[in-house]
Amino acid sequence: MIPSDNVQYLDKNFWEKRYTNNDNNHVTREWLGDYSLFCDYFRQNVSKSLSILILGCGNSLLSEQLFQDGYENIHNIDISSTVIKTMSEHCDKCKQMKWSTMDCRRLDFIDETFDVVIEKATLDVFLVQEKSSWNISNEALQSLRPIGHEIYRVLRKNSGQFFSITFSAPHFRHPLFGKMFDNNLKIKNIEQLGNEFHFFLYHLTNDPSIRESVSCFQYEPPIQIDIKNDGQVVDDDDDDDENFLNGIKL
């Protein structure tokens, strides 16, 4: 089920309908890559006994694959009650795993409940209407900041870890994380994954002893230009609200 407009990705009813129709008869669907692409890194940094929260689990196999790898203390949440029911039944052999219908902007957990929080393409849903990855709108930030606050709140202090998996490149995601978490979480490492289509695993922590990864380079937005009929180039870098993909006008 493909939306007629990307804004539908922000609509809970769209996801309920999509999951009710089993996403074209597929019980599970993997956004980006699966666990096998980053399992080695995850094993090196997360011990099997730690508690894990997966935000916006959808019908991904991630939690099932984590469970099969020995991570049994997992709590999955999603805004869709339909997919929570479907996936809890699909993973009925993973007895210790928990499932809850919940909005990631308002988590029903007490402070410092989890050692690890994982999201895979969940944050990207809140950016589907953005015209420019360089300049995130206030509207999007108003949705993302509560998520950042909730992630930080439910993580164990001084040892909590957050893993974010997305297509978004470091020069876009690094400043966004700074705004989401008020710089309370630091990027420990960035792993580039995939072959033909690259995506990224961001590893953040609230451990005060960790220094920000040197991989987080800050790039300036491209200069927008106008090319007049006579071939003269005129700088046009003042219009920050314009879609940067349309910055060159012929």
- What's this model's pTM, rounded to 2 decimal places? 0.81
| Stretch among 13-27, 55-69, 202-216 having the lowest mean pLDDT | 13-27
**Sequence-distant (≥ 6) Cβ neighbours of residue 106 within 8 angstroms:** 146, 150
4 — pLDDT class (breaks 50, 70, 90): low
Q: How far apart are alpha carbons 233 and 228 in whole angstroms?
A: 7
pLDDT over 60 at 231, yes or no: no
In terms of domains, do 11 and 86 share one? Answer: yes
| Stretch among 4-8, 93-97, 130-134 having the lowest mean pLDDT | 4-8
In terms of domains, do 13 and 86 share one? Answer: yes
Amino acid making up residue 40: D
Q: What strands lie across the sheet with 74-78, from one edge to the other? A: 98-101, 74-78, 52-55, 116-120, 161-166, 199-205, 186-193
Cα–Cα distances (Å) from 6 to 3, 10, 106, 128, 130, in that order, read 6, 8, 23, 6, 10
pLDDT over 90 at 150, yes or no: yes
Place of tokens 């029903």: 108
How large a percentage of the chain has pLDDT more than 70?
74
Average pLDDT rounded to a whole number, residues 144-173: 95
What tens digit of pLDDT does each residue of 89-100 get? 999 999 899 999
Q: What range defines the domain where residue 247 resides?
A: 221-250
In terms of domains, do 179 and 106 share one? Answer: yes
Would residue 211 count as lying in a domain? Answer: no
- Please give the tally of structural domains in the chain: 2
Q: What strands lie across the sheet with 225-227, from one edge to the other? A: 233-235, 225-227, 248-249
The distance in angstroms from the start CA to the end CA of the chain is 36
Would residue 104 count as lying in a domain? Answer: yes
pLDDT over 90 at 245, yes or no: no
